[in-house]
Structure 1
Amino acid sequence: MIESTDNTDLTPPGVNAAFSTPDSGQARASVFMVRGDWAVRHEAAAVAPPAEGGAMRDLWPGLPAAYRNGFDAACSTDTARVYLFKGATCVLYDFVQNATVPPNASPASIGDRFPGLRKDAPDFAEGIDAGLPAPDGTVYFFRGSRCVNYDIEGDEVLEQGTIADFWHNPDHPDPGIADGIAAAFNHPATSNGYLVTRDGKRYVECDTDPARHRVTSGAKVLRDRWPYRTFLTLLDEFSGRLWIFDADSGQTIRQGQTGRKPGGVVISPDGFRVLATTLGASGGTGSLVLLDITAGTLKTVEAGRSPYRVAALPDGSAAYVTDTSDEAVYAIDLATGNARRLDIGPRPEDVVASPEGDRVYVARDANPAVAVVDTAQHAVTGGFGGDNTASCMALTPDGTTLAFGIVPVNMVAVASTSGGGEPPLVPVGQSPEQLVASPDSRYVYVANRGAEVKVIDVAAIREVTPIRVRDRSNAIALSPDGEYLYVTSQGVDSVQKLRVSDGVQVGEFALGSALERYAYLAIGPAWG
């Protein structure tokens, strides 16, 4: 992992290239998204997470060496052969044969491959941002705020102009692409296309027919049409070692190091990063670590003396970090890294955000046990939970119930977020370590250092049948659909994947070495 402490702009980029390939007999029609040196493949007809993803050097070893760590743009054809662009060079690559297309197996200059560009649009010969095929066999090339329609057979520019004029449709007057696009691709065998905005996270639909080229929609979120996979991340509390897995297949996406003695981990709402806390060296200021999942780059921002747990607002605008030694919580802007401190009371531990992002709940050793932070006012505006010592927490997705562990008495409190009085308590065996709520808000699962995961019925406020596990449970995560539970513990060398309905183990993710101390698990949709 590469570390950078430049926090002037923490916003991660989205995809930077995309292309499609038609049905070939060997492979189904697919859409590929590229981000840096990583790519994912979606089935073109499905609205579903990608069928696969990985580093390009592994997916496509036949790529020229200079292209294996990423390329700038791609332009599909009506076959599995796709033009790839990097800098001022271009190569034609066959994604079924996994080989460059002879006789030009090595990258050539764009101007040599498309001489009409050098003649009539010379700046395009210096580099291309995106390419898009048209149904008549021509292609569109994009650079900056401009677009050309190019005849490959005749090697000539047929039409050129600004993107705003070229794709204008009065029904969608401001689609957000006038200043340029990051990627473009077509839906195989149709004239329907997609233009991805410069941030790589949104798209507009378009008609690619040269006789009527125009945008046909406003801007939409790319991940809504081309969803992410679910990733599971595991952090060793002592060493700071981090693992990221595909939660379905167990594929290792990344493994590395965050920092010393971290206290919590989450996947950011935008799906591009893992957020974790870490102590500073020699008693210095601690940090919030932002690890780009597929790029592998790591940035840090200051986050108090002893940062511990972390939660991100649902819109991804900020992260909240508790500081156990400073009786504070820090609100950290995830675009700039700017941090705002707020007094929160003694021994703040866990922190969770409401579904709307208007409130943050902080567990502490005080009366009331849970502080309510208004995120707009940046102020503590209330509290609930009675005279307890709150530690780990889980908020039900409907936002109505907050469960929190009370370690000294081996109990979990089931509190209404509307507040009021001492909440009822449910015994959970040994010490509660991590809590997660089911997506339907009916259950809370409790890791408790025992050889089972306790299950609390939220409405009945009582324990129901627990889920047996192989090792003492310390860290747990629940799949977004609520069907699978992931469990690990101190000193083990794997993560168990269990089916919630019957407790049967259906998978195991090897770590390669044992965890040194307690662990933290988090799960969520992520790019890659």
Structure 2
Amino acid sequence: MTESTDTTDLTPPGVNAAFSIPDSGESRASVFMVRGSWAVRHEAAAVAPPAEGGAVRDLWPGLPSTYRNGFDAACSTDSARVYLFKGATCVLYDFAQNATVPPNASPAPIGDRFPGLRKDAPDFAEGIDAGLPAPDGTVYFFRGNRCVNYDIDGDEVLEQGTIADFWHNPDHPDPGIADGIAAAFNHPATSNGYLVTRDGKRYVECDTDPARHRVTSGAKTLRDRWPYRAFLTVLDGFNGRLWVFDSDSGQTIRQSQTGRESGGVVVSPDGFRVLATTLGGGGGAGSLTLLDITAGTVKTVGAGTAPYRVAALPDGSAAYVTDPSDEAVYAVDLTTGDARRIDIGPRPEGVVASPEGDRVYVGRESDPAVAVVDTAQHAVTGGFGGDTMASCLALTPDGTTLAFGIVPVNMVAVASTAGGGEPPLVPVGQSPEQLVASPDSRYVYVANRGAEVKVIDVAAIREVTPIRVRDRSNAIALSPDGEHLYVTSQGADSVQKLRVSDGEQVGEFALGSALDRYAYMAIGPAWG
């Protein structure tokens, strides 16, 4: 793990390499995407999360040592053999055999492997950004804003030019790839290709036939075609230990460390980072920690004196962090790291963003108990919830109902975001610690330091059948489809995974050490 406080540009990069492998009879055609030292495998024909993901060194231990932390580019062939590039070197790797070709081969200079590049496009011998096979057995190589069509058998450059000219289609005049691409790959055994834009997050479709090479679409979002997995993150509120799991399989994606006395955690909407708050050491100012999930790198930005809970706007542009000691919420720009203070009033705690991102709701000890922040004006423009104390919050996905915990009376208020006076209260037995709403907006689940997760029917405004868990439950999260509940408890060294329909435990994710009194969990789609 590396740490940086450089806030020049906090934008995380997307994928930097990709390739495909055809159906072998034993395994289905696959598309692999690489981001730094991590890779994922998608079934080529499916619009679904990756079938697997892991560190490059673990997935492909036969790679040369210099390639095991990742590589710059890849170029498929018509088999499981793929050319990989790093710097000015290249290696041919057989992904079916998990070995170089020939076995134990060292990376060779690109110019030696492809002498026609050294002769007719010498800068390509210094490094390749992406490679793409053509149906006639030739390949395309990309570097900067240029592209060449290369005959591997004849070792010669057949055609070259700018990407803008090479892939021009008047029906799609500005596909967003003229300055270069981050990766390229084809749909196996077809002339359909994909060119990934330089940010590694979008793509355009293309026809790879050398007789008519051209783009065939405008830019599209990569994650819409190749969706993410859902990752669960667990944060120990005392010592700042943080875990990230695949919420389906329980695979440990990352273990890391934030600062001490953390107060909240979310999976960033971009799917690349976890955002967590932490107090400063030695009485200094606290910070918002930005952990890159698969890279393991950490950046920190200022977010008040004692940052506590955190929420991110749906578009990922900003995070809102409460600071009870400063009676404020800080709007943190997730690109620049700039933080804007917004006065809230006494003891702001929980914070959630509206589905549209135009409002942020902040719980406080005041009248009204919930402040409404206009995210365009950066100001409190209203409130609701009555004269009480709102701590943890949960907003239903339809945006109409905000539930908030009232710790001193062991109640949860069920309030309309449209306002309307004192909201009705539902007893939850013990101290409400964390709330989550179901994806259909029908229920709110409450961790309350007891041996049950309380379940509130939002429409009826009453408790329904609870879900039995370990005693002293202190944090919960709900799968995006609403089918599974994840629960931690004080002193527990694992996360329970429970089926919501019947409360049956169907999984357990080991933490390796016991959690402290306070813990926080969040779940969301993430790359990896």
TM-score (norm 1): 0.99
3-state DSSP of counterpart to 1:85: strand
Aligned to 2:271: 271
Determine whether 1:419 maps to 2:419: yes
Cα offset, 1:25, TM superposition: 2.4
1:233 and 1:523 in contact (8 A); partners too: yes
Q: Distance in 2 between matches of 1:155 and 1:101?
A: 18
Q: Deviations over 1:426-446 (max 9, x none)?
A: 011101000000000000000
Q: Distance in 2 between matches of 1:215 and 1:481?
A: 35
3-state DSSP of counterpart to 2:164: helix
1:26 and 1:96 in contact (8 A); partners too: no
Cα offset, 1:420, TM superposition: 1.6
Q: Distance in 1 between matches of 2:33 and 2:350?
A: 36
Q: Deviations over 1:75-111 (max 9, x none)?
A: 0000000000000000000001000011781110000
Q: Distance in 1 between matches of 2:466 and 2:97?
A: 51
Cα offset, 1:2, TM superposition: 1.0
Cα offset, 1:472, TM superposition: 2.3
Runs of 4 or more above 4 Å deviation: none
Aligned to 1:334: 334
Gaps of 5+ in 2: none
Q: Distance in 1 between matches of 2:103 and 2:333?
A: 52
Cα offset, 1:517, TM superposition: 2.5
Q: Deviations over 1:22-80 (max 9, x none)?
A: 01123211000000000000000100000000001110000000000010000000000
3-state DSSP of counterpart to 2:70: coil
Cα offset, 1:516, TM superposition: 2.2
1:91 and 1:104 in contact (8 A); partners too: no
Cα offset, 1:352, TM superposition: 0.2
Q: Distance in 1 between matches of 2:180 and 2:490?
A: 50
Determine whether 1:238 maps to 2:238: yes
Q: Distance in 2 between matches of 1:524 and 1:438?
A: 13
Aligned to 1:106: 106
Cα offset, 1:449, TM superposition: 0.6
1:73 and 1:85 in contact (8 A); partners too: yes
Q: Distance in 1 between matches of 2:386 and 2:168?
A: 60
2:493 and 2:514 in contact (8 A); partners too: yes
Q: Deviations over 1:339-394 (max 9, x none)?
A: 00010000000100000000000000000000000000001000000001000000
Cα offset, 1:518, TM superposition: 1.3
Cα offset, 1:402, TM superposition: 0.3
1:80 and 1:94 in contact (8 A); partners too: yes
2:384 and 2:421 in contact (8 A); partners too: yes
Q: Distance in 1 between matches of 2:438 and 2:18?
A: 35
3-state DSSP of counterpart to 1:111: helix
1:471 and 1:488 in contact (8 A); partners too: no
Cα offset, 1:281, TM superposition: 1.2
Q: Distance in 1 between matches of 2:279 and 2:451?
A: 31
> 1:47-126 alignment to 2 at 5 Å?
47-102=47-102, 105-126=105-126
3-state DSSP of counterpart to 2:308: strand
Aligned to 1:13: 13
2:499 and 2:506 in contact (8 A); partners too: yes
3-state DSSP of counterpart to 1:307: coil
Once structures 1 and 2 are overlaid, which stretch shifts more, 102-111 or 268-277? Answer: 102-111
1:27 and 1:96 in contact (8 A); partners too: no
Gaps of 5+ in 1: none
3-state DSSP of counterpart to 1:57: helix
Q: Distance in 1 between matches of 2:411 and 2:374?
A: 28
Question: Identity of aligned pairs, percent?
Answer: 90
3-state DSSP of counterpart to 1:474: strand
2:474 and 2:517 in contact (8 A); partners too: no
Number of matched pairs? 528
Once structures 1 and 2 are overlaid, which stretch shifts more, 21-30 or 92-101? Answer: 21-30
3-state DSSP of counterpart to 2:325: coil
3-state DSSP of counterpart to 2:524: strand
Q: Distance in 1 between matches of 2:7 and 2:439?
A: 34
Cα offset, 1:240, TM superposition: 0.2
3-state DSSP of counterpart to 1:48: coil
Cα offset, 1:519, TM superposition: 0.6
Q: Deviations over 1:386-410 (max 9, x none)?
A: 0010000000000000000000111
1:491 and 1:516 in contact (8 A); partners too: yes
Q: Distance in 2 between matches of 1:43 and 1:223?
A: 14
3-state DSSP of counterpart to 1:394: strand
- Cα RMSD (Å): 0.7
Q: Distance in 1 between matches of 2:93 and 2:475?
A: 45
3-state DSSP of counterpart to 1:193: strand
1:56 and 1:70 in contact (8 A); partners too: yes
> 1:378-397 alignment to 2 at 5 Å?
378-397=378-397
Q: Distance in 1 between matches of 2:379 and 2:103?
A: 67
TM-score (norm 2): 0.99
Q: Deviations over 1:470-497 (max 9, x none)?
A: 2321100000000000000111000000
3-state DSSP of counterpart to 1:112: helix
Q: Deviations over 1:324-347 (max 9, x none)?
A: 100000000000000000100000
Q: Distance in 2 between matches of 1:287 and 1:195?
A: 38
1:17 and 1:183 in contact (8 A); partners too: yes
1:110 and 1:127 in contact (8 A); partners too: yes
Q: Distance in 1 between matches of 2:486 and 2:377?
A: 37
Determine whether 1:300 maps to 2:300: yes
3-state DSSP of counterpart to 1:58: helix
